[in-house]
Amino acid sequence: MSILIDQNTNVIVQGVTGRDGSFHARQMVSDGTRVVAGVTPGKGGQKLDEIPVYNSVGEAANDHRVDATVIFVPPKFATAAIREAADAGVPLIICITEGMPVLEMVENYRYVKDRGLRLIGPNCPGLISPGKSKIGIMPYRIHREGEIGVISRSGTLTYEVVYNLTVAGLGQSTCIGIGGDPIIGTTFTDLLELFEADAGTTGVVLIGEIGGEDEERAAEYIKTKMTKPVVAFISGRTAPPGKRMGHAGAIISGGKGTPQAKVEAFEGAGVAVADKPDEIPDLMRKALGA
């Protein structure tokens, strides 16, 4: 099984006629995703290959069942795109856009949540349920269908971990990049809860990084409510003090968000923490008793 998306998920692409949107829409179709429509204001009535293009999400939703949307638009248009999707009642909104203002995201988070919908991102690679569907920019070829859930704040590090899992024969149920910004739509804890309830997931890999307290909150959830084994990796553990990191969310303040605090929180919750990404498959096998 999987969480959030499967082979029946109908997807639309906002910004489908742009450079990134058109490229990744074609990739998603090639990878087996059901892309039923695209949206670009002013381009309604056109087609991208066989994908019909609409002027708005509402128009697309009038002609198609829409289960999810993925947003490929510049930062100055991303808030409007998120809210347009929310107004149309799209259950799952994935925002790939990076560089969004923090205060806008605070408001967007509440805008989506108040409508009972889910936002993933921004500044994320999306998600994939191997053999079923891919929404976003993850490279399909490195994934393998299986029973390990993957949640990550880092895009490229996700690919390294997934590759190692696949080579080791540990396929994935769903892999999700939640984004590296300070304000994101879906947290580690949100997704751990879904994986805990998914009969097709037997274990979870969590990839965190320095900055913020989301990993510590995840560790508390694991300690009190998670029955499935979790293996973690924290990037940035060797970063020199005061060094600027790549993600906007990789900020340590008030002594919180340090890599050591995260490692200690996970170890205190019984989570095996890898020193290097390539150690994760063996740690997961041990956690599963294999």
**Residue 2 domain-assigned (yes or no):** no
If one counts the domains in the chain, the total is 2
Q: How confident is the model at residue 241 (pLDDT cuts 50, 70, 90)?
A: low
**Residue 1 domain-assigned (yes or no):** no
**Residue 134 domain-assigned (yes or no):** no
Query: Are 113 and 62 within one domain?
Result: yes
Q: Report the CATH number at residue 96.
A: 3.40.50.720
- Where is the domain boundary, 55, 87, 120? 120
Query: Are 147 and 100 within one domain?
Result: no
Query: Are 113 and 228 within one domain?
Result: no
- Asked whether residue 252 carries a pLDDT value surpassing 90, the answer given is no
**Residue 81 domain-assigned (yes or no):** yes
Q: Residue 55: which domain range?
A: 10-120
Q: How confident is the model at residue 258 (pLDDT cuts 50, 70, 90)?
A: confident
Query: Are 177 and 254 within one domain?
Result: yes
Query: Are 279 and 196 within one domain?
Result: yes
**Residue 65 domain-assigned (yes or no):** yes
The number of C-alpha atoms within 13 Å of 23 and in the hemisphere containing its C-beta is: 8
- Where is the domain boundary, 60, 89, 120? 120
Per-residue pLDDT at 242: 56
pLDDT in tens, 143-166: 999 999 999 998 889 999 999 999
Query: Are 247 and 155 within one domain?
Result: yes
Query: Are 113 and 205 within one domain?
Result: no
Query: Are 110 and 151 within one domain?
Result: no
**Residue 131 domain-assigned (yes or no):** no
Query: Are 159 and 284 within one domain?
Result: yes
Query: Are 170 and 257 within one domain?
Result: yes
**Residue 5 domain-assigned (yes or no):** no
Query: Are 196 and 252 within one domain?
Result: yes
Q: Report the CATH number at residue 227.
A: 3.40.50.261
- Asked whether residue 253 carries a pLDDT value surpassing 60, the answer given is no
Determine which one of 24, 64, 143, 247 is catalytic: 247
Catalytic residue check, 24: no
Query: Are 284 and 180 within one domain?
Result: yes
- Asked whether residue 51 carries a pLDDT value surpassing 50, the answer given is yes
